[in-house]
Amino acid sequence: MSRAQKLLFFLIAWLICLMPFLFWWNTWFGRKLSDRQLTEYLHDAKKPRHIQQALVQVGERITRQDAAVKQWYPQLVQLAADPVEEVRNTDAWVMGQDTSGTGFHETLLKMLADPSQMVRGNAALSLVRFGDATGRPQILALLQPAQITSPESGRIVDADRPGTAIHLRGLIAKLGYGHEQVAEIRSPIPGRIRSVAGTGANVAAGAEVAVVDPETGQVWEALRALYLVGQPDDLSAIRPYERDLPDIPDHLRQQAVETEQAIRKRSGS
């Protein structure tokens, strides 16, 4: 191998190692952003992950009581109407970190009508920090499994397996319909697939295709919020998480028990 060939070989190997690092570096939310970068990222409509990264760091600076973070509060209010669901979801969480933020309370109340279940839930959880229980129905919805229906009559051409962990908007199944058309059926919540129609199954429009159980973190946050604002009518939604079952972690079961006790004490029952 000639010297030039050796140099080319090492250059290619170096690039192979460098590219994954650069991708990770540009997408890692933990990479600290300067004030100028935060401003740029919050306005980067072409890269929603940049907006999310900036929002996460704004939230972290709020918890550290960094007074300089208030300069971005107007942008947080504006992002409540962003077309990207993940951005609105993160934004709702961040606004709950400072109950003194101008316009935050009013904006979160409006977000209770968001088309996304997760955004509505995060807005409701943040409102609890304001001492506002208006979003209690949305919090209860976080405890419920998502029942996903078919958008068209057709045939399942591919499907994931029950028990599989799924991300928000993760692909659960593909539906073939019409003249060689395919619709992707995605989960409206993060969690775990409880059931899903198998490959080859024929389904009617509006028929159930899959059921997804909510992820543990989502349930835990909802139970913590209901500890503060829950009512006796909510106990039927809480009790399933008190059961001694393998798929219910101990800390979740304990939180469910404590939440029921707090509700009973508050209501005098």
Mean pLDDT of 140-150: 96
Spell out the domain ranges in the chain. 1-27, 32-138, 146-214, 230-267
Which residue, chain included where needed, has tokens 């940049």? 50
Radius of gyration in angstroms for the set of CA atoms belonging to the chain, rounded to a whole number: 23
Which three-class secondary structure state does DSSP give residue 255? helix
- pTM value is 0.83
Report pLDDT digits (tens) over 45-59: 999 999 999 999 999
Of all residues in the chain, the percent with pLDDT exceeding 70 is: 88
Distance CA 247, CA 224 (A): 19
How confident is the model at residue 194, as a pLDDT?
96
How confident is the model at residue 65, as a pLDDT?
92
Burial 100-121 (b: 16+ CB within 10 A, else e): ebeebbebbbebbebebbbbbb
Other C-beta atoms closer than 10 Å to the C-beta of 26 total: 12
Would the pLDDT of 21 be above 80? no
The domain defined by 146-214 folds into OB fold (Dihydrolipoamide Acetyltransferase, E2P) (2.40.50)
Instruction: Look up residue 216 and give its DSSP letter.
Output: H
**CATH architecture of the domain covering 32-138:** Alpha Horseshoe (1.25)
Task: At 269, list the tokens.
Answer: 């029952």
Other C-beta atoms closer than 10 Å to the C-beta of 184 total: 12
